[in-house]
Amino acid sequence: MSVATVPDALSARFAAIVGEKNAIWKPAELRTYECDGLLGYRVRPAVVVLPGSTQEVADCVKLARELDLPIVPRGAGTGLSGGSLPSTGCVVIGLSRMKKILDVDLENRVARVEPGVINLDISRALAADGYYYVPDPSSQSVCTIGGNVAENSGGAHCLKYGFTVNHVLGLTIVLGDGEIVQVGSRAGELDPLGYDLAGVIVGSEGMTGIVTEALVRVMRTPARTQTLFATFPSTDEAGDAVSRIVGAGIVPAAIEMMDRLAIEAIVLATGVDWPLDVGALLLMDVDGVDAEVEETTARAREQLEAAGSIEIRAPKDDAERALAWKGRKAAFAAMGRISPNYHVQDGVIPRKDIAPVLREIAALGAGAGLRIANVFHAGDGNLHPLVLYDARIPGQEQAAEHVAGEILRVCLRYGGSVTGEHGVGHDKACYLGEQFSADDLETMMLMRTAFDPERRFNPEKVFPTPRLCGDKPGAYVAHAVEISGEAGRG
Amino acid sequence: MTGSLAVAGVTPRDVVTPQTIEDLAGVVRGLHAERKAFAFVGGGTELQLGNAPRALDTVVRTSALDRVIEYAPEDQTITVEAGVTLAELDRVLAEHGQMLPIDVVDRERATVGGIIATNAYGRRRQRYGTAKDLIVGVGIVRPDGVRARGGGKVVKNVAGFDLPKLMVGSLGTLGAIATATLRVYPLPASLRAVALHFDGAAGVASAVAALVAQRFEPESVVVYNYGALVVTFAGTAGGVDAQIAAMLEPVAAASGCVDATELSDLERESYEQRERAVRRDGEWRVRVVAPPAYPVATLGSFAASAPLAVPVAYPLMGIALHAHAAGDAPPERHLIDLRENVAAQTRGTGSVIAHAIPDVARPHVDAWPTLLPAQYATMRAMKNNFDPYGLCNPGRYIGGL
Ligand SMILES: Cc1cc2nc3c(=O)[nH]c(=O)nc-3n(C[C@H](O)[C@H](O)[C@H](O)COP(=O)(O)OP(=O)(O)OC[C@H]3O[C@@H](n4cnc5c(N)ncnc54)[C@H](O)[C@@H]3O)c2cc1C
C-alpha cells in the first residue's frame, strides 16, 4: 500500500481555507476522527478541517455545499451516542482550535466563548471572581461547550440549576448555506426577540449548523455548599430516599446514586474510603445561603434516615468534599477495574420510580448473565446503567447491547425517555421511533429543516430511517410540504 | 360575543370552542382544508399583544380543554390541557403544597396554553425562570391539524428536537398548544419581603449590587416607581430570616436608603397588585428589555403621555414595564421615541416591545422591534415549514410571522 504524501484535490481546497496544517487527510491522522465515545463504530471521513474562526467555518461550509459533502461537526469527541461519528465521505469540521474565552462580563453575568472552549475552563477563568459556569457534565475537564450545546448536556448540579439550555443565552451559528446567524441574547438581555432559535439549537445534536460562539450565563458560586453522603442496604431504600426528598419539596443542588458494584469500582480506582458492604450510596449537595443550607440539610437528613440509611456522613471541609465528588466523576472510567468492557446506557424515568426500575434492570442483567452497575443523576431520574461484559467471550457484547436496549424499553414503559443527556446520535435513532410517533418525528424534522433544508449537517443521526431501523413503526416519513418544496427557506 | 375577542384589534368572523383535543384537531384540520385564517385564544388576557393579524376568520378557544391529565406530586410534575386556568392549577397544586411560580395579571382567566404561547412572566422569574424553564413536554395541534408531541413527562430529557422550547413564546403562530407537562415547585415554608425606599436610582443600584455580592437568593427583586426596592425571599424560615435581617441593616445602611421596612402580607400584596396593574392598565403598555447592567428602571418612559400605573422594573433581569395613556397625536411618536432612547442608551442591545397599542396608533407602529435579516430568514423558514399557507395567526408576531 502506498502512503499518500500530498493532499488530494478535495483536501487541498479545504486546506486553502484553514491552512495546510489544519486540514487532516493522511489516513493515519484521520484515525483519531473516525469515532467518538461510542465505541464499536468507526467511519473514515474524507477530510477533517480545524478552522480558526467563524469566517473560516463559513467558508468550509460553503465549500462542502459546493462539493455536496455531508458535514459532521466535532468538539472533543467525548459524546457517547455517536454524535460526531463521521458519515461516509463527509467533511468533519472540528472546533478544537476555536478555544478562546472572548469576553467575560460579570456585570451582566455572561461570558462569550468560542465552541472549542473546555467546559471547566470557563469556571476556572472565573473562580477568582467568585463566579462559575453551572452545568457540570462528568466529562467537564475534556468536553467542549460546542458539544455541550449540541447535546444539551447535563451534570450533577443541573438538578437545582437546570441544564445547558438554561445557561446558554445566545449563539452564533453557521447555517448550511454558509450564512452566519446570531440568535438569542446578544449581550445578556433576557428576552431575545422572536422564536427561541437558541433553545432549539441547544440539544439539536449538530443538525442545525455549526455553533461558533456561545453567550453563556455565569453565576455567583453559592455562599455555602454542604455535601451529604448516605449509605443504604439496597437501591430500594436509596430510591425511596430520593422520592422522599423530592416529594418533601427539598431541592438539593445534586443527588447522585451509586450501587454496590459502582462503589466497588470507584473505591478500587480512586481509593476513596467508601464502605464496600452497602447496597447503595447517595451523594448529595445542598447549597445556598448559610442558614438555608443548614435547615435544608437537616430536613434531608430526616428523609434519608426515614428511608432507612445505614450511615450518613458530612464531609468536614472542601478537601473531603472534593474527594467524594472526584469519586463520583471518575465512575465511568473506574469500571475498567471490575470489567474489561462496559456499555454506558442513559435513560430517564419519573423520580418516584427509581427503586422498581432498578429492580427490573437487575433482573434483565441476571437473565442475560451480565452484571450491571448503576451510577446516576438520581435527583433527575436520569439512569446510567453500565452493562458489564467481556468482549473476548463470544456473544457477550451482543448480549450486553441487547440488555442495554431493553433497559430503554423499561424507561419508556414507565413514561420516561431514551436519553437524558447523552443524546440520540447514531446509537438511539431507532429507539427514538419507539418514543415518538411518525407525526412527532415529522414535526421535529420541520424544526430541523428550518435551519438546514438540505440536511447537510450530521445526516443519518437522530431520526430513524428504514435503512437504519428496518420498517419499524415510527420510522420517518417526509412531510408533504417538504416533498412539494413549498416549505423552503423564505 | 365575538367583540370582546378581538385579536390585536381584529374581530374574528367566528368563534369556536372545541370540547376535546380531538375536536380541536378536527376544527383546525377543517379550517386548514378551507384555507381559513385562524387564531387561538385561551383566557383572552393578552389579546392586545402583537400586531393586527393580516387575516382572521375564526378564533379557536381552548378554554374548554380544562382537564388535569396527570399530576405526580412526588415527581413535581403536572400534565394538563392547555385551557386549564392558573387559578385552577393553583388549587390542584396547593393540595400537595406545590405551585406553578409564574406571575400573571389574572389567574382566574389566564390559561396554561396562554402563558406558554406568550411566555408570560413576572417578578418570580428571578428565581424560577419562565415557562421556558418549567416546560418539560408539550402536545400541539399543528396548523394542518396534525397532532404532535415533543419532550415528555420526565424532568430531564434530550430525546429529539426541543418542540416545547419552540412553542414557548411563539404566540400561536406555529400551531395550538393542546397539552403541557410542567415542572412545579414546593410552596415555600417562609415568604417575606422588605421594601427599601431611595431618593434616587443610584441608591437602588447599589442595594441591588450588594444583594448580588452577598450571594443572596431572592425570589424576586422589583423596583416600583424608580425609588422603592421590594425584595422578596422564599425558602426555609432561618434562611429567609437571615436574608431579611441583612437587607434591613447592612444593605440598607450601605446603600443610603431613606427608609427600610419589612412588609406585612397585606403590604406585599398591594405591591404585587401594582405589578399586575402595569401589565393590565393603560392604552400603551410596553416592556423594555436590556442587558441587566444598564439602569433599566430609568431607561425609558413616555415623556409625552400620562402614566396610568406605577412603573415597575426587575433590575436583576434588565426588564422594565410601563403603562401610559394614549396621549396626544401623533401617538406613535411615543413608541418610536422610546425605542430610539433605549437603543441609544444600550448601544443597540436594548429593545422595546409593545403589549398594548391604542387602536389609532396601530396602523403606524410595529409592536415588535426589528430583527436582523439573517435571524428573520430562519424564523420565516420555521414559520413556513409549520404553516406554509400562512393561516395561523398570520402577521401578529415579530416581523409579520
Ligand atoms: C467519561 C464521560 C463522562 C460523561 N459524562 C457526561 C455527563 O455527566 N453529562 C452529559 O451530559 N454528558 C456526559 N458525557 C458525554 C459527553 O461528554 C457530552 O455529550 C459532551 O457534551 C460532548 O462534548 P464534546 O466536545 O466531546 O462533543 P463531541 O462528542 O465532539 O460532539 C457531540 C455532538 O455535538 C456536535 N457538535 C460538537 N461541536 C459542535 C459545534 N460547535 N456546533 C454544532 N455541533 C457540534 C457533534 O456533531 C455531535 O453531534 C460523558 C462522556 C464521557 C466520555
Interface ipTM: 0.96
Mean pLDDT of the residues in chain B: 94
Look at B235 and A288 and tell me if their CB atoms are within 8 Å.
yes
The per-residue pLDDT for range B277-289, each reduced to its tens digit, is 999 999 999 999 9
| Nearest residue to A108 (alpha-carbon basis) of B278, B347, B248, B228 | B347
Look at B385 and A181 and tell me if their CB atoms are within 8 Å.
no
Residue A477 has pLDDT above 50, yes or no: no
The region of weakest confidence among A232-241, B223-232, B293-302 is B293-302
3-state SS, chain A, equals: CCCCCCCCHHHHHHHHHHCHHHEECCHHHHHHHCCCCCCCCCCCCCEEECCCCHHHHHHHHHHHHHCCCCEEEECCCCCCCCCCCCCCCCEEEECCCCCCEEEEECCCCEEEECCCCEHHHHHHHHHHHCEECCCCCCCCCCCEHHHHHHHCCCCCCHHHHCCHHHHEEEEEEECCCCCEEEEECCCCCCCCCCCCHHHHHCCCCCCCCEEEEEEEECEECCCEEEEEEEEECCHHHHHHHHHHHHHCCCCCCEEEEEEHHHHHHHHHHHCCCCCCCCCEEEEEEEEECHHHHHHHHHHHHHHHHHCCCCEEECCCCHHHHHHHHHHHHCHHHHHHHCCCEEEECCEECCHHHHHHHHHHHHHHHHHHCCCEEEEEEHHHCEECEEEEECCCCCCHHHHHHHHHHHHHHHHHHCCCECCCCCCCCCCCHHHHHHHCCHHHHHHHHHHHHHHCCCCCECCCCCCCCHHHHCCCCCCCCCCHHHHHCCCCCC
Q: Does A295 touch chain B (CB under 8 A)?
A: yes
pLDDT of residue B2: 42
pLDDT of residue A479: 40
Portion 317-346 of A in contact with B at CB < 8 A = none
pLDDT of residue A471: 57
CA of A418 to nearest chain B CA: how many angstroms apart? Answer: 7
Of A188, A247, A432, the CB nearest to B73: A247
The per-residue pLDDT for range A26-77, each reduced to its tens digit, is 999 999 999 999 988 999 999 999 999 999 999 999 999 999 999 999 999 9
pLDDT > 70: percent of chain A: 95
Q: Measured from the CA of A98, which atom of ligand 1 is nearest?
A: 41
Residue A84 has pLDDT above 80, yes or no: yes
B367 chain-A contacts, CB cut-off 8 A: none
Task: Give the helix/strand (H/E) hosting B184.
Answer: none
pLDDT of residue A23: 97
Residue that wins the pLDDT comparison between B334 and A420? A420
Q: Which three cell numbers stand for residue A427?
A: 446509537
Any residues with Cβ below 6 Å from ligand 1, and which? A 36-37, 72-80, 83-84, 95, 115, 137-139, 143-144, 146-148, 150-151, 153-155, 205-206, 210-211, 332, 421-422, 458
Residue A154 has pLDDT above 60, yes or no: yes
Q: Residue range B339-349: average pLDDT? A: 92
The rounded Å distance from CA A93 to ligand 1 centre is 15
The rounded Å distance from CA A147 to ligand 1 centre is 4
Q: CA of B240: how far to CAs of A289, B232, B269, in Å?
A: 9, 9, 18
Q: CA of A263: how far to CAs of A259, A269, A275, A330, A363, in Å?
A: 6, 10, 8, 11, 20
A292 chain-B contacts, CB cut-off 8 A: 217, 235-236, 238-240, 242
pLDDT of residue B194: 98
Q: Residue range A441-446: average pLDDT? A: 98
Q: Residue range B237-250: average pLDDT? A: 95
Contact status, residue A376 vs residue A421, Cβ threshold 8 Å? no
Q: Does A446 touch chain B (CB under 8 A)?
A: yes
Contact status, residue B119 vs residue B165, Cβ threshold 8 Å? no
Using pLDDT thresholds of 50, 70 and 90, give the confidence band for residue A478. very low
Q: Measured from the CA of A37, which atom of ligand 1 is nearest?
A: 53
Distance CA A408, CA A357 (A): 11
The rounded Å distance from CA A146 to ligand 1 centre is 8
The rounded Å distance from CA A114 to ligand 1 centre is 15
**Nearest-CA residue of chain B relative to A176?**
B378
Distance CA B325, CA B354 (A): 13
Q: Residue range A187-200: average pLDDT? A: 95
Q: Measured from the CA of A150, which atom of ligand 1 is nearest?
A: 34
Using pLDDT thresholds of 50, 70 and 90, give the confidence band for residue A1. very low
Q: Residue range B160-178: average pLDDT? A: 98
The per-residue pLDDT for range B111-157, each reduced to its tens digit, is 999 999 999 999 999 999 999 999 999 999 999 999 999 999 999 99
Distance CA A280, CA A18 (A): 51
Residue that wins the pLDDT comparison between A238 and A324? A238
Q: Measured from the CA of A156, which atom of ligand 1 is nearest?
A: 8
pLDDT of residue B332: 86
pLDDT of residue A482: 39
The per-residue pLDDT for range B35-64, each reduced to its tens digit, is 999 999 999 999 999 999 999 999 999 999
Contact status, residue A333 vs residue A264, Cβ threshold 8 Å? no
Of A251, A432, A451, the CB nearest to B159: A432
Q: Which three cell numbers stand for residue A309?
A: 440509611
The per-residue pLDDT for range B257-311, each reduced to its tens digit, is 999 999 999 999 999 999 999 999 999 999 999 999 998 777 766 667 888 999 9
pLDDT of residue A89: 94
pLDDT of residue A3: 56
Residue that wins the pLDDT comparison between B376 and A247? B376
End-to-end CA distance of chain A: 50
Residue owning the nearest CA to atom 35 of ligand 1: A206
Contact status, residue B26 vs residue B144, Cβ threshold 8 Å? no
Using CA of residue B323, residue B328, residue B331, residue B336, what is the dihedral sign? negative
Q: Residue range A123-138: average pLDDT? A: 96
CA of A240 to nearest chain B CA: how many angstroms apart? Answer: 11
Using pLDDT thresholds of 50, 70 and 90, give the confidence band for residue A224. very high
**Nearest-CA residue of chain B relative to A436?**
B149
The rounded Å distance from CA A150 to ligand 1 centre is 7
The rounded Å distance from CA A79 to ligand 1 centre is 4
Using pLDDT thresholds of 50, 70 and 90, give the confidence band for residue B171. very high
Q: Which three cell numbers stand for residue A91?
A: 467533511
pTM score, whole prediction: 0.96
Residue A7 has pLDDT above 90, yes or no: no
Mean pLDDT of the residues in chain A: 93
- HSE-up of residue B252 (Cα within 13 Å, Cβ side): 20
